[in-house]
Structure 1
Amino acid sequence: MNASDIRKMVVSALTETTDAGSRVFSPRDWPTSTVIYPALLVQTPFDHKKSQGRNTPAFTTVTTVRITGRVQEYDGETDDDGAMKAEEALENLREQVERAVINSYELTRNIQKYAEVRSTINVDSEGEAHMGQLLFEIDIEHYQGPEDFYPVQSVPLEGMDIAINMPDGTTKPGISLNLQE
């Protein structure tokens, strides 16, 4: 299992389980348009491997999954409550993301633990609407062993020619082996 596998499992866990519905994107360009909000963007920007010892490729790996949630809210007709609505939408999204990822059976059965969870919320009112962004990071610890690094890709051996260099004027012994069926 590697960072890409973890990212795919997180995307699967988030799809249709939050207010973003099917608008869970990974990988994709990060600029988004308001027609897809709320939306979740998933990436794995950090992957840290710590060796478990000598002579074997075995690692305790921590993959950081970054989930960016984006919402947009307008002020009401009588109230300037767009920022409040955006903040509440982000708080709800944060809780939904946390539950969806941590309660994912597929993830839980393939990893060692959820090492750490961090989240921040930011609301910006510079435009016509209030733009809100959730930055949710979860460190997922998992094992990577020899099975994750093997088999090494090689060219199959099809045959072999063996010849022995002999002095001039003597017979050159040799053999040709065809390993095809």
Structure 2
Amino acid sequence: MNSALIRQLTVAALKAGTTDAGDRVYTPRDWPTHSADYPALMVQTPFDHKHSMGRNAPQFVSVTTVRITGRVEAFDTADAECGALLAEEALERLRLQVEQAVINSYELTRQTQQYKEVRSTIDVDSGGESHIGQLLYEIDMEYYQGPEDFYPVASTPLESLTFRHSEPDGTAQTGFDADLTT
């Protein structure tokens, strides 16, 4: 287990969940977005913290912060200047959907020890023609890392196998050759 796998599992959970973003869940990607992208979710793992479990083998209780940035866009209606309210409501709905998709993910729950902490903020900007809303959702996921995570076994792939049976002189040699590359 590592932060890259946590990120990939989070993206899979968000895509499998029923968020307003649908399949517009990105990682990694350039962060600038435009109207055609909304609503969208962008996932990254900016913080990884390891707490040693002792002096002997490399064993850690690791905490990875998964940051999910959600973006929405809303316009004022013909009847009222309610774009900010619509953006805020869309962000609140998206926050709940993200939370449910991630926390209810079987794979994330199975491969982590706990969701240590959750933080979220909502911001709406009305500086342009529309109201752009942004959700910043951070969840700290705790998991174990041990020697198997730090000492991968380096090996040479087995490509072929030749087996010959020793026979007395003057008799036919028995055995077989196997090509394992196909």
TM-score (norm 1): 0.83
Deviation at 1:26, TM superposition (A): 0.4
2: distance between equivalents of 1:59 and 1:52?
Answer: 5
* 1:174 alignment counterpart: none
Aligned residues: 156
What is the DSSP-based 3-state SS (H/G/I as helix, E as strand, rest coil) of the residue aligned with 2:55? Answer: coil
Q: How does 1:114-129 map to 2 (within 5 A)?
A: 114-129=115-130
1: distance between equivalents of 2:119 and 2:141?
Answer: 12
1: distance between equivalents of 2:40 and 2:59?
Answer: 36
Deviation at 1:34, TM superposition (A): 1.3
* 2:95 alignment counterpart: 94
Q: How does 1:29-44 map to 2 (within 5 A)?
A: 29-44=30-45
Q: Which runs of 5+ in 2 are unaligned?
A: 157-182
The one-letter code matched in structure 1 to 2:128 is: G
* 2:23 alignment counterpart: 22
The one-letter code matched in structure 2 to 1:75 is: D
The one-letter code matched in structure 2 to 1:2 is: N
Q: How does 1:3-18 map to 2 (within 5 A)?
A: 3-16=3-16, 17-18=18-19
Deviations 1:110-136 (A, max 9, x none): 000000000000000010000000000
Q: Which structure: larger Rg?
A: 1
* 2:150 alignment counterpart: 149
- Identity percentage over the alignment? 68
2: distance between equivalents of 1:152 and 1:55?
Answer: 20
Deviations 1:79-127 (A, max 9, x none): 1010000000000000000000000000000000000000000000010
Q: How does 1:35-114 map to 2 (within 5 A)?
A: 35-114=36-115
Deviation at 1:151, TM superposition (A): 2.1
1: distance between equivalents of 2:109 and 2:35?
Answer: 33
2: distance between equivalents of 1:8 and 1:144?
Answer: 17
The one-letter code matched in structure 2 to 1:104 is: S
2: distance between equivalents of 1:95 and 1:154?
Answer: 46
* 1:2 alignment counterpart: 2
1: distance between equivalents of 2:99 and 2:74?
Answer: 22
What is the DSSP-based 3-state SS (H/G/I as helix, E as strand, rest coil) of the residue aligned with 1:128? Answer: coil
The one-letter code matched in structure 1 to 2:13 is: A
The one-letter code matched in structure 2 to 1:4 is: A
What is the DSSP-based 3-state SS (H/G/I as helix, E as strand, rest coil) of the residue aligned with 1:15? Answer: helix
TM-score (norm 2): 0.83
The one-letter code matched in structure 1 to 2:7 is: R
CA RMSD of aligned residues (A): 1.4
